[in-house]
Amino acid sequence: MLEIIAPENLAYAKSKVLTDAPMHYCPGCSHGTVHKILAEVIEDLDIQDKTVGITPVGCAVLLYSYLDIDWVEAAHGRAPAVATGIKRTNPGLHVLAYQGDGDLAAIGTGEIIHACNRGENISVIFINNGIYGMTGGQMAPTTLIGMKTATTPQGRQVDINGYPFKVSEIIALLPGASYVTRQAVHTPAAVRQAKKALKKAIEKAYAGKGTSFVEVVATCSSGWKLSPTEANRWMAENMLPFYPLGDLKDS
């Protein structure tokens, strides 16, 4: 029985860029899946030694515990400015900013817009789960109309809360952003696709083409108060029609 555990029979191995620290995410949370494919992409591109990541304030704040690269923890929303400071003074580094939708699309709107507009040669990974996961499920700018959250207990209403924010569409308008794509990780096919997008994003930014922006439409089973499977289904049925997947820009 044990003989079959041999390198030539290995179908899957944990990326060496992932640490052994157990992830703190809720079951089914998209953050963990994105971390895993990000680790694999870093390994595939062989850039572990020349990559600096920036973690957000949000559920992914402890991302620095899970990927074995250098990390800088930014203030809430400021990762694109921190990334700018790193990349401008260290052009030889791969610089990755990882942000949630509260972090990037609310408090940090100014920083992301201007970093993309300047065409900073960085990659931004934007986890759009339509909610503030970390602080207990409050409304995010990306929360869908009618969606119940801790601060929209009757559901998001346009007259009170305005409209859900389509960030990638706006980023795609900026000349400094060269690659803008919207991905998801709710099915194996989507995961494969998202991994490809991440790889391309990192390569393009490093080649000096401008900012790469990868949105990942994500689940937050705890915030949405759904089981992991229900959350995946709910996301496909409700989030994806409003946030359609695919490349928005590839120049």
Ligand X SMILES: Cc1ncc(C[n+]2csc(CCOP(=O)(O)OP(=O)(O)O)c2C)c(N)n1
Which residues of the chain form contacts with ligand SF4 (CB under 6 A)? Answer: 25-26, 29, 31, 59, 129, 133-134, 220-223
Determine how many CB atoms are found less than 10 A away from the CB of residue 119: 17
Residue 185 binding another protein, by CB under 8 A: no
DSSP states along 71-102: EEEPPTT-HHHHHHHHHHH-TTSEEEEEEEHH
Rounded Cα gap, residues 150 and 129, in angstroms: 14
**Ranges within 100-159 binding another protein (CB under 8 A):** 110-111, 114
Distance of closest approach, residue 156 Cβ to ligand SF4, in angstroms: 17
Residue of 35, 80, 97, 101 interacting with ligand X (CB under 6 A):
101
Residue 235 binding ligand X, by CB under 6 A: no
Structure tokens at 74: 């930014």
Residue 129 binding ligand X, by CB under 6 A: yes
Determine how many CB atoms are found less than 10 A away from the CB of residue 64: 19
Residue of 40, 68, 101, 215 interacting with Mg ion (CB under 5 A):
101
CA 187 to chain centre: 16
Query: In this structure, is the dihedral angle defined by the CA atoms of residues 166, 77, 131 and 30, taken in order, positive or negative?
Result: positive
Residue of 29, 74, 177, 220 interacting with another protein (CB under 8 A):
74
Distance of closest approach, residue 243 Cβ to ligand SF4, in angstroms: 16
Asked if 125 and 53 count as a contact pair (C-beta separation under 8 A), the reply is no
**Minimum CB distance to ligand X smaller for 93 or for 167:** 167
Choosing among Mg ion, ligand X, another protein, none, which partner's interface includes residue 172 (Cβ < 5 to 8 Å by kind)? none
Residue 129 binding Mg ion, by CB under 5 A: yes
Asked if 149 and 137 count as a contact pair (C-beta separation under 8 A), the reply is yes
Residues near ligand X (CB under 6 A) are 57-60, 76, 100-103, 127, 129, 131-135, 140, 220
